[in-house]
Amino acid sequence: MNQPVDRSVNGLIRYRLNFAYDGTNYWGFAKQKGFATVQGELVTALTTAFGESKTDFDMRVAGRTDAGVHAYDQVIHIDLSQEQLKRLGRTKGFLGKLNDLLPEDIRVHSVELAPPGFDARFSASYRRYRYRIADGEANKNPLKQRYTHWIKHPLDVTAMQLAAFELIGLHDYASFCRAKVGATTIRHVREITVKRNPADDNVIEVELQADAFCHNMVRSIVGGLIAAGEGKAGPTEIAATLARLTRVGSYKVSPARGLTLIEIGYPADDQLAEQAERARNMRTLDEN
Amino acid sequence: MNQPVDRSVNGLIRYRLNFAYDGTNYWGFAKQKGFATVQGELVTALTTAFGESKTDFDMRVAGRTDAGVHAYDQVIHIDLSQEQLKRLGRTKGFLGKLNDLLPEDIRVHSVELAPPGFDARFSASYRRYRYRIADGEANKNPLKQRYTHWIKHPLDVTAMQLAAFELIGLHDYASFCRAKVGATTIRHVREITVKRNPADDNVIEVELQADAFCHNMVRSIVGGLIAAGEGKAGPTEIAATLARLTRVGSYKVSPARGLTLIEIGYPADDQLAEQAERARNMRTLDEN
């Protein structure tokens, strides 16, 4: 006989929400007083849906994106009380209600009871991002201008990929992170691919996957790769920058508009708690 | 020995421009005093580039799109004087200058000397449009919200395609056009396909190709197909609506945001003049 599983966290029931947004009009994910943010919109819609105010549902996000960055498949969890659960009703109806309350540039795709041990942020085993560059060889498609970094001259994709190889692995990425006191900048980057996509206006797509990224890391890496593509930095210089462990003299942070969070990866359900424990020990609460 | 070809039109030299735009922020293509329009932006950029004012370069467009409609590959021609030609210089440099002067949601892809007999509008042999619908079966992707018509319930794609078959052919489309006195509403629709695209968020794509479309025709047809997809109209009713030759009781005009002009087709260079002659005889100057 199976043991009944206690899914409650401090007496609350945890739900997982998958959602997407066009970040153009937001000051990033995280709530900031007086600014339109994705979290602000979500909390407003949820409080309206539940007929409550002054709660943030202990919302936690998997990838805290910066101002102007987009998400194709982002994840949060929220913790609901028994009273809130009653008002939730059938999750399918709730999903429709929630999307009606949200602006069109934020769409929730699913609302699901979270498996035991699930934490949107700490259980995540990887984050995957895509950066889109329309260089001199690409077709300038204004229907994708909000999601594209525009560069006039052509970039050398092979030089970019060669530079990218230097940045894969388990490293201290201090040279590519905005510093935060007391927080580690060690990350495990598992993949960086640079490809021209003939099926998508011939733009250059940089895809990056890591256990996690520190603040500004993806856009700083892309800045380095663009320098490589322009012939301003070779693999040796990129490797030297990484080894320097300081941001001075590093590359430009590429613009937010080109960046989209593509996917958050989670381990199998029975490893969620263990993964969360590992991540908590590695990183402080202020990091992503 | 080849005959020298006279490319001038009334002493002016004709150029062909291919370009694209996100129509969200424009009151359509055609210039209107006091409103932001695509033509208005193009004329402003061209007059600045040529250091002139008070000319519209006898600009003519292939597909005059309505407010909020987008274009992936639109075509205009402009006629330049010998003085303007000197200021044009190398067309590649001119293209860059023009795009610098244009807002980011309009991008010119090419500026080319037009072949003899070319007329952006009258030489065109076909127009191709795509309409994008995210119904209940689709993934709601906010990164494409500006280019999508959102419908909550699922649509029956097969029913839509069956209805579409009734609208293919050489017909009088008066039931699907906004009437204009003295203008024919006879058009030759060569293709209407309705497909769900699993590679693009599972949205429904309606693609339509015709020699030309009259005003509101694509969106009225899509409105009819949506009614079919909702089970509100079968192929017989769609055919009856077409045969009625009047707009009363026809279907809703679907929203502009879902519509994108995909392609303008032209015949081989030696048939451009003949095609233009044919089109001029068939349609008045006010139609598309």
Cβ distance A140 to B99 less than 8 Å, yes or no, reads: yes
Q: What pLDDT was estimated at residue A4?
A: 44
Q: What pLDDT was estimated at residue B280?
A: 85
Instruction: Name every chain B residue with its beta carbon within 8 A of the beta carbon of A104.
Output: 142, 145, 150
For residues B163 and B223, give the distance between their C-alpha atoms in angstroms, rounded to a whole number.
11
Of B106, B143, B150, the CB nearest to A147: B143
CB-neighbour burial class of residue A17 (10 A; exposed 0-12, middle 13-18, buried 19+): buried
Q: What pLDDT was estimated at residue B11?
A: 82
Cβ distance A140 to B107 less than 8 Å, yes or no, reads: yes
Of A22, A141, A142, the CB nearest to B142: A22
Instruction: Quickly list DSSP for B204-215.
Output: EEEEEEES---T
Q: Which residues contact A269 (CB under 8 A, 6 or more apart)?
A: A115, A116, A117, A118
Q: Do A223 and A163 contact (CB within 8 A), yes or no?
A: no
Cβ distance A140 to B109 less than 8 Å, yes or no, reads: yes
For residues B125 and B266, give the distance between their C-alpha atoms in angstroms, rounded to a whole number.
5
Instruction: Name every chain B residue with its beta carbon within 8 A of the beta carbon of A260.
Output: 143
Nearest to A21 by CA among A93, A103, A107, A86: A107
Smallest Cα distance from B102 to chain A, Å: 11
Instruction: Name every chain B residue with its beta carbon within 8 A of the beta carbon of A99.
Output: 140
Of A22, A141, A142, the CB nearest to B143: A22
Q: Which residues contact B246 (CB under 8 A, 6 or more apart)?
A: B174, B175
For residues B31 and B37, give the distance between their C-alpha atoms in angstroms, rounded to a whole number.
6
Q: What pLDDT was estimated at residue A165?
A: 97
> pLDDT tens digit string along B258-271?
999 999 999 999 99
Residues of A in CB contact (< 8 Å) with B are: 20-22, 70, 72, 96, 99, 104-107, 109, 139-143, 145-147, 150, 152, 260
Nearest to A60 by CA among A122, A147, A2: A122
Terminal Cα distance for chain A, rounded? 39
B13, containing H or E segment: strand B12-21
Please give the structure tokens belonging to residue A271: 């490893």
Cβ distance B104 to A145 less than 8 Å, yes or no, reads: yes
Nearest to B32 by CA among B67, B61, B63: B67
What number of other Cβ atoms are within 10 A of residue A3's Cβ?
5
Q: Which amino acid is at A24?
A: T
What number of other Cβ atoms are within 10 A of residue A268's Cβ?
9
- ipTM exceeding the 0.85 mark: no
Instruction: Name every chain A residue with its beta carbon within 8 A of the beta carbon of B99.
Output: 140
For residues A48 and A97, give the distance between their C-alpha atoms in angstroms, rounded to a whole number.
10
For residues B238 and B247, give the distance between their C-alpha atoms in angstroms, rounded to a whole number.
12
SS3 string, A249-287, reads: CCCCCCCHHHEEEEEEECCCHHHHHHHHHHHHHHCCCCC
Name the least confident of B41-45, B82-86, B187-191.
B82-86
Q: Do A258 and A222 contact (CB within 8 A), yes or no?
A: yes
Q: Do A216 and A177 contact (CB within 8 A), yes or no?
A: yes
Residue B67 has pLDDT above 90, yes or no: yes
Return the percentage of chain B with pLDDT > 70, whole number. 94
Nearest to A262 by CA among A105, A65, A115, A122: A65
Report the residue of A143, A147, A257, A260 to disrupt the B interface, i.e. the one with the largest count of B CBs within 10 Å.
A143
- What average pLDDT is seen over chain B? 91
- Concerning whether A66 is annotated as a catalytic residue, the answer is yes
Smallest Cα distance from B22 to chain A, Å: 5
Instruction: Name every chain A residue with its beta carbon within 8 A of the beta carbon of B137.
Output: none
Q: What pLDDT was estimated at residue A15?
A: 95
- What average pLDDT is seen over chain A? 91
Report the residue of B70, B74, B143, B259 to disrupt the A interface, i.e. the one with the largest count of A CBs within 10 Å.
B143
Cβ distance B140 to A107 less than 8 Å, yes or no, reads: yes
Q: What pLDDT was estimated at residue A7?
A: 58
Instruction: Name every chain A residue with its beta carbon within 8 A of the beta carbon of B139.
Output: 109
Smallest Cα distance from A228 to chain B, Å: 24
Structural fold of domain A126-263: Alpha-Beta Plaits (3.30.70)
Q: What pLDDT was estimated at residue B286?
A: 46
Cβ distance A143 to B72 less than 8 Å, yes or no, reads: yes
- Count Cα atoms within 13 angstroms, Cβ side, for A121: 17
Maximum alpha-carbon separation in chain A: 66
Residue B76 has pLDDT above 80, yes or no: yes
Q: Where are the domains of chain B?
A: 8-123, 126-263
Instruction: Name every chain B residue with its beta carbon within 8 A of the beta carbon of A96.
Output: 152
Please give the structure tokens belonging to residue A44: 């407003």
The one catalytic residue in A22, A66, A119, A135 is A66
Q: How many helices (H) and strands (E) does chain B have?
A: 7, 11
Confidence of residue B285 (pLDDT cuts 50, 70, 90): very low
Instruction: Name every chain A residue with its beta carbon within 8 A of the beta carbon of B140.
Output: 20, 99, 107, 109
Q: What pLDDT was estimated at residue B9?
A: 65
Cβ distance A20 to B143 less than 8 Å, yes or no, reads: yes
> pLDDT tens digit string along B214-234?
999 999 999 999 999 999 999
Smallest Cα distance from B243 to chain A, Å: 37
For residues A17 and A29, give the distance between their C-alpha atoms in angstroms, rounded to a whole number.
14
B70-80/B259-265 β-pairing: parallel
CB-neighbour burial class of residue A242 (10 A; exposed 0-12, middle 13-18, buried 19+): buried
For residues A161 and A229, give the distance between their C-alpha atoms in angstroms, rounded to a whole number.
9
Q: Do domains A8-123 and A126-263 have the same CATH topology?
A: yes
Cβ distance B22 to A145 less than 8 Å, yes or no, reads: yes
CA B146 to chain centre: 17
What φ, ψ does residue B198 adopt, rounded to 5°?
-65, -25
Whole-model pTM? Answer: 0.84
C-alpha dihedral, B94 to B100 to B105 to B108, nearest 10°: 10
For residues A8 and A14, give the distance between their C-alpha atoms in angstroms, rounded to a whole number.
7
Residues of B in CB contact (< 8 Å) with A are: 20-22, 70, 72, 96, 99, 104-107, 109, 139-143, 145-147, 150, 152, 260
Count of CB pairs separated by less than 8 Å, A with B = 56
> pLDDT tens digit string along B150-185?
999 999 999 999 999 999 999 999 999 987 777 889
Q: Do A170 and A154 contact (CB within 8 A), yes or no?
A: no
Smallest Cα distance from A23 to chain B, Å: 9
Confidence of residue B3 (pLDDT cuts 50, 70, 90): very low
For residues A106 and A120, give the distance between their C-alpha atoms in angstroms, rounded to a whole number.
18
Q: What pLDDT was estimated at residue A8?
A: 63
Of B106, B107, B141, the CB nearest to A20: B141
Q: What pLDDT was estimated at residue B1?
A: 37
Which CATH class, in words, describes the domain spanning B8-123? Answer: alpha beta
Please give the structure tokens belonging to residue A82: 């028994």
pLDDT, block means (10 residues), chain A with 288 residues:
53 94 96 94 94 85 96 96 82 87 95 94 97 95 94 96 96 90 90 96 97 94 97 95 86 95 96 90 58
* CA dihedral (B214, B208, A22, A111) positive or negative: positive
Q: Which amino acid is at A256?
A: A
DSSP-assigned beta bridge partners for residue A188: A170
